[in-house]
Structure 1
Amino acid sequence: MSDKNGPIDFQIIRDMLYNDDAYVKEFCDASVISFSEFKSNFRKNLMEEDLDTLRRTGHKIKPVAKMLKLDPLLSIYEKSKLLLMESDNPGEKKKQYVKEMDDYCEEILDQLHQRVDK
């Protein structure tokens, strides 16, 4: 079975964690929690147009997202920040970004769950 059936390339994780299955599982378990919290907080912060809290939410996930090369997540996050900084009425755009982030995070979480359940 391929290691790349979704956004995450698990070879990056294995290389980083000395190919130790226990470490990889622990990393995946922690990532499920992190990405679940991020997804929920991103939605709440964007819908409430709370830029400061959105930034704090992003700062928690950005290092892992960069390390795992999850560029779509970073892109949606950056577009959302710009939207709140530049628009007085972000309306439909913020709903679109929430949906994009929800969908992408679901792909990540599905892939992590499959890995953890192996």
Structure 2
Amino acid sequence: MTGQFFRFALVGTAGFVVDLLVLQLLLHALGVGVYAARGLSYLCAATSTWIMNRHFTFTTERTDAPWREWARFLASNAAGGAVNLGVYAALVASGLPLLSAPWLALAAGSVAGLFFNYFASRKFVFTARAR
């Protein structure tokens, strides 16, 4: 499990990079508001981490129904996503100069959801199923 969690954390780090890049693109290049941009960047990051976890972290636990697996991944990680988004929103809304920086709020939200998402993914998404 330790190696698997490490791979999950690596994938999460890559997902954070996707999240950050999409967030910055939406905020600065397209002028999207901070909350809408965060919702869209989260969806991009969640989809990319599902793909990476499917092919790197949980290779033997994958199901043969990718779209259903993706839907389970999004659903089972929704609580972790809610924690992630809640921490982000609270820090952005705080108005404190350091804490309200979108990139720092994004990092804090990502860490907050990491452990929950790992166990939810392991238990509900990437489980070996009889074919």
Q: Do both share a fold (TM > 0.5)?
A: no
Length-normalised TM-score, structure 1: 0.41
